[in-house]
Structure 1
Amino acid sequence: MASAEDANGKVNLLEDNRIDSGVESFQYFTKDDPYNNPVRDSTSESSEARDKCSSNTEERLDSAYGSSSLTVENFSEILIEGCNISESEDDSAKNTELEHKENLLTNITEDGDTLLHLAIIHEDEHFAHQLIQLFPKDVLDIQNNLYQTPLHLATYLNLSSVVRDLVESGASLELQDQEGNTPLHMACEQGWVECATEMIRNVSSSKLAPVLESQNWRGLTSLHLATVNRQHRLMKLLMKKGADLNIQEGTSGKTPLHMAVELHDIVSMTLLLNKGADVDVPMFNGCTPLHLAVGRQDAAIANLLCQSGADKMLRNIEDETALDLAGGNDDILALFPFDDIQIQGRSVVRVPF
């Protein structure tokens, strides 16, 4: 056991002259890691990793963030309750070890990162796994200044084994970063199928429902993001887990089917329609997917929607049917036979006199 003087020399993580957000302190402790892990240096690596994980540093004034993020004041109390301090025959050595572990775990950098955040930023998976086992459950959900939890960072960096360990240890799937993204949002946007699978594979439907329905600050759910980014495997995964196929994003009311139509993504459209997506759901302005297809002069997509039973007579808030938007396109006009009388999209058989 090291002397009290030697041990105390190791615990000062927040020196006044530190030039980065805890990278030196991370390196300092891993140097004496009993697992003797190699430490990745340098400041440039930390800066590069952090740049990947943040885009906008404006402070969010929404009070919901304050209620979802633990504060520095109670951070120390939570950690001390959860730490398993080994017993020592010498009281002085025991107190020194306790103080050492307290300082090791309770320090937060100027960017709000805990040691676990830093381990993940440096992609040191072994050290991250050790910290996850050491940290109490509540501490796993500490959010940094960008409101990123360790699970956000592990997902963004595609560290699927760390994601699995965090989820199994009880890390929250519902916390949102400064852009309103949950970890599942990030996985769907980046296309990280393994990370998304690790997050939701063993989660019950009741607990998963609010995660699947959660919208980021742009009004998008995870299924919207998977659709926009043409992540077909992720779309299948979310559908299998019960994602609402007709959920509307919060700005204009588009469903995933509207977005697939706009992208001319026949694969996504087929996936959605085959799973029972409503072909006639209107946006907030009353436009159905067929309105969008015809308005874009996209005859192939319009034809697919008509074959799927789209109602050709529905009107938007401008009192326009899809036919009104055809603009003389012969291929599209062929989808709307003029010699039929239709009521609510159904042809009426003419009875000869």
Structure 2
Amino acid sequence: METRGYMTSKNVKMAAIEDDINNDRDLVTDDLHYSDTMQISHKMARVCEERCDSGINSFSFQSFRDSMESSCTFSVGKTELCEIIHEDFSEKCTNLSLEDEGISSFSYTPSVCIKPNSVKALRIVLDFSEQDKDGDTFVNLALIGGNERLACALIDMVPNVECLNIPNSLYQRPVHLAVLTKQVKILKKLLSKNIEIACQDHQGNTPLHLACRNGDIDCVKAILEVVRERRDFQCLEVRNSQGLTCLHVAARVTENRLNIVTELIKSEANVNAVDATSGRTILHYACEKRDIELVRFLMKYTNIEIDFLAFDGKPAIYIAYWRNYQDIVKRLIKAGADFDYNVLDDVSEDSDNENV
């Protein structure tokens, strides 16, 4: 009877334990590891009983991330970037926009989503050659978003300089975007990576063309410093789709015009370079715009070809004369320009005959 009572008591205890398991109550045990294992195994078993797909589709990534919060790792690519990045990564890489030269909207939804205060530090793996639908890389997006800290971190971590020479759909490299967004610090960091500086966008503009067009003397100086260091003066002669060199572009702007022209000429830009459409020099441009300040400035250079003929066979002084810019005509004559009123009369008669 005692044995039967013992067995009955044991059965009761086993039934109680089974009831605890079925009702998902914690087991009381001295072995904490055993207890935790039993709880997790039981919960996973319940998932498997309710589904016929092994529970894969019902697995909660949020619960997994919570359980791994102390050592969280996100994989997005191939090259490792170990950096403490707060929630500004997702904020800056979402709904980025830049409108310039046909760019109506840049948008990118990052594959890494970070919730504020969810984790303190992340180990992120990025593929620096990956491009979005607009052809922009992570470096481009950081530049467009104006996130200087993130852009600098990404540039420092690129495994290969070629990752910084990848063009987007408008053939813009990171160096173009750094100039367009006027981020001089990032521009200097890019230039220190020995990137290509004569690269052209979809309009044939180099980064120096864009800096001159924007009247951005800081970006111009940063680029020209590298040009002088590399002795790469050929890039100063590159023409865009309008046939203009950087010097022609600089002569047309209003902000910092003389300072930029000065920097270009000091860096051995050809002051007598002609555009590809009319054969005019920047002296022709200055006369056409009645820019007496630029004309006076150019007359200081002894290597200026004051009588240089454009494709139509006319020197700069004739442009000023036909527009009745007497102040410029006098300045050019004083500087030694060859000016013959008889020739002007002959040209006038020829023009009248052509009109008849």
TM range (shorter): 0.5 to 0.7
Measured against aligned partners, the alpha-carbon deviations of 1:239-293 in whole angstroms (never above 9, x if no partner) come to 1111101000000011000001111111111221212311100100101011101
| Conservation of the 8 A alpha-carbon contact between 1:295 and 1:326 | no
| Conservation of the 8 A alpha-carbon contact between 1:295 and 1:322 | no
Measured against aligned partners, the alpha-carbon deviations of 1:5-53 in whole angstroms (never above 9, x if no partner) come to 9645x528xxxxxxxxxxxxxxxxx9x9514363484799623x2x13x
Give the counterpart of 1:118 among 141, 147, 163: 141
| Conservation of the 8 A alpha-carbon contact between 1:146 and 1:178 | yes
Alignment of 1:288 with 2:353, yes or no, is no
Measured in 2, the distance between the counterparts of 1:42 and 1:207 equals 38
Measured against aligned partners, the alpha-carbon deviations of 1:59-104 in whole angstroms (never above 9, x if no partner) come to xxxxxxxxxxxxxxxxxxxxxxxxxxxxxxxxxxxxxx8xx62x54
Seen in structure 2, the aligned counterparts of structure 1 residues 248 and 6 have a Cα distance that, compared at 3 Å, is same
Alignment of 1:143 with 2:193, yes or no, is no
Q: Show the 5 A alignment for 1:164-203.
A: 164-203=188-227
Measured against aligned partners, the alpha-carbon deviations of 1:132-156 in whole angstroms (never above 9, x if no partner) come to 1111212111110100000000001
Match of 1:304 in 2: 331
- The two structures, once aligned, show a CA RMSD in angstroms of 3.1
**TM-score computed with the length of structure 1 as normaliser:** 0.66
Match of 1:263 in 2: 289
Seen in structure 2, the aligned counterparts of structure 1 residues 323 and 298 have a Cα distance that, compared at 3 Å, is farther
**TM-score computed with the length of structure 2 as normaliser:** 0.66
Give the counterpart of 1:157 among 168, 174, 181: 181
Measured in 1, the distance between the counterparts of 2:93 and 2:84 equals 24
Seen in structure 2, the aligned counterparts of structure 1 residues 158 and 260 have a Cα distance that, compared at 3 Å, is same
Measured in 2, the distance between the counterparts of 1:37 and 1:168 equals 29
Match of 1:34 in 2: 84
Measured against aligned partners, the alpha-carbon deviations of 1:284-314 in whole angstroms (never above 9, x if no partner) come to 0101011101111111111111111111149
Alignment of 1:249 with 2:271, yes or no, is no
Measured in 2, the distance between the counterparts of 1:45 and 1:260 equals 43
Gaps of at least 5 residues in structure 2 are 1-64, 105-122, 350-356
Seen in structure 2, the aligned counterparts of structure 1 residues 152 and 313 have a Cα distance that, compared at 3 Å, is same
Measured in 2, the distance between the counterparts of 1:128 and 1:265 equals 40
Measured in 2, the distance between the counterparts of 1:124 and 1:44 equals 12
| Conservation of the 8 A alpha-carbon contact between 2:92 and 2:142 | no
Give the counterpart of 2:299 among 267, 273, 285: 273
Match of 1:62 in 2: none
Measured in 2, the distance between the counterparts of 1:286 and 1:168 equals 44
Alignment of 1:321 with 2:343, yes or no, is yes
Match of 2:102 in 1: 55
Letter in 1 for 2:334: Q
Letter in 1 for 2:233: A
Give the counterpart of 1:11 among 59, 65, 76: 76
> Structure with the greater relative contact order (CA < 8 A, sep ≥ 6): 1 or 2?
1
Of residues 231-240 and 198-207 in structure 1, the stretch that sits farther from structure 2 once superposed is 198-207
Measured in 1, the distance between the counterparts of 2:347 and 2:190 equals 51
Seen in structure 2, the aligned counterparts of structure 1 residues 45 and 307 have a Cα distance that, compared at 3 Å, is farther
Letter in 2 for 1:254: R
Seen in structure 2, the aligned counterparts of structure 1 residues 228 and 108 have a Cα distance that, compared at 3 Å, is same
Please state whether the residue corresponding to 2:155 is helix, strand or coil. Answer: helix
Letter in 2 for 1:296: R
Please state whether the residue corresponding to 2:232 is helix, strand or coil. Answer: helix
| Conservation of the 8 A alpha-carbon contact between 1:142 and 1:149 | yes
